[in-house]
Copies of this chain bind each other. A is one copy, B any other.
Amino acid sequence: MFNFEVVAESKNTRARAGLLHTLHGTIETPVFMPVGTLGSVKSLSPEELLESRTQIILGNTYHLYLRPGCEVISQFSGLHEFMNWNKPILTDSGGFQVFSLAKLSKISDEGVIFQSHIDGSRHMLTPENIVEIQICLGSDIIMCLDECIKYPSNREETKDAMELTTRWAKRCKKTWGNGNNGLFGIVQGGMFKDLRKISADALVDVGFSGYAIGGLSVGEPKDLMFEIADFTLDILPDSKPKYVMGTGTPEDLVKLVNIGADMFDCVLPTRNARNGQMFTKYGTVNICNSRYKLDKGPIDPGCTCYTCQNYSRAYLRHLYIAKELLAYRLNTIHNIHYYISLMESMRNAICKGEFEAFKKDFLEKRGIL
């Protein structure tokens, strides 16, 4: 049965540590969820995710609905069995992808009609079927359908999208009933604090297992992102998990935990790995750089990941330049390990009452490289 409890709070910040109980196990928060778009965290095996101590992954409903589709996944007891991953899975609502990837999306109160980016086939997502699809996927945390707007959007567009998101959220809740998995509402309202407040209040009124903040990291200035996140995190109920969607850099995560965020997902560690960008506590290593040609040291000397324990920068540079498939995997193992370890460090610091010191030290070290 889905449940959340706060187990420690930072004194001078809003950072907190929690436990998120799901059907597939308990998650320690704050938590980062690697993105497994199509039923695979790109290049990694489930065992490698476990070795990095990944607690929960994110699956993209839009992508999985189109390919392989519910017909295939319903042959299995959901995405867990299909992809051989027995820990929790959160699935997004597909809303973001429909608006960013699909062709000719047409929106109405009923739902959104769109053409697949793969074969042009026509589909409709509604608040009802999006919940049913996620139930078919066996998701531990289901996200409501939301309307995502571009940045910048004017107040009227933003208000309309927010209100539609609220109406859809109610219908999602009705379809979900009172499932054993969690159902999260998504706060919209763009860069308008009063709209964010209306959205949050309305969703809390409906009552969800947790609350996500959507519509951030869509091109707005970083300061504005933090301002809106700060405002919105603060008005959401502290008894529920708070999820900032689609963010961010390591610095972003630390700053967002600082203001009370519990959950994150982002393609940055996986995508950057495939682009040869490796995270370290001193900054980013671009593995293509010729300075690493003869470098026998690991990516990050302090790192305990499989990649750093077994391979040199020289070898990783060689593999990457030669476009060897192993490069993408070894790089991803490192970056995911970096993100997961960062979340663990933050949680430990919160539990020990040392989060402020951790944050100061972390931000000082990053960017030295």
Residues in chain A within 8 A of chain B (CB atoms): 38-40, 42-45, 67-68, 71-72, 75-76, 82-84, 293-294, 296, 310-312, 314-315, 317-319, 321-322, 324-326, 328-329
Contact = CB atoms under 8 A, between A and B. Distances in A.
A75 B38 CA distance: 40
A78 to B, nearest CB: 12
B67 A314 contact: no
22 contacts: A38-B322, A38-B324, A40-B324, A40-B325, A40-B326, A42-B324, A42-B325, A43-B325, A45-B326, A67-B318, A67-B322, A68-B293, A68-B317, A71-B294, A72-B294, A72-B318, A75-B296, A75-B314, A82-B314, A82-B318, A83-B315, A325-B329
A5 B218 CA distance: 67
A224 to B, nearest CB: 35
A38 B318 contact: yes
Contact of A318 (B68, B321, B326): B68
Nearest to A66: B322
A121 B336 CA distance: 38
A317 B73 CA distance: 13
B294 A75 contact: yes
B324 A72 contact: no
Contacts of A328: 325
A76 B67 CA distance: 45
The 7 closest A-B pairs by CB, nearest first: A43-B325, A68-B318, A40-B326, A40-B324, A38-B322, A84-B310, A75-B294
A312 B79 CA distance: 12
Q: Among the interface residues A40, A82, A318, A326, which one has the most CB atoms of the partner chain B within 10 A? A: A326
Given A38-B324, A76-B296, A314 B43 contact: no
A45 B319 CA distance: 12
Q: Among the interface residues A39, A43, A45, A71, which one has the most CB atoms of the partner chain B within 10 A? A: A45
A230 to B, nearest CB: 37
Contacts of A43: 325-326, 329
Contacts of A315: 39, 82-84
A314 to B, nearest CB: 6
A40 B39 CA distance: 26
Nearest to A330: B45
Contacts of A311: 84
Contacts of A71: 294
Contacts of A39: 315, 318-319, 324
A293 B43 CA distance: 22
Contacts of A324: 38-40, 42
A324 B39 CA distance: 9
A326 B68 contact: no
Nearest to A82: B315
Given A39-B324, A42-B324, 5 more contacts: A40-B324, A42-B325, A67-B322, A82-B314, A83-B315
Nearest to A323: B38
A321 B67 contact: yes
A75 B294 CA distance: 7
Contacts of A82: 312, 314-315, 318
Nearest to A315: B82
B75 A40 contact: no
A286 B319 CA distance: 29
A45 B71 CA distance: 34
A91 to B, nearest CB: 16
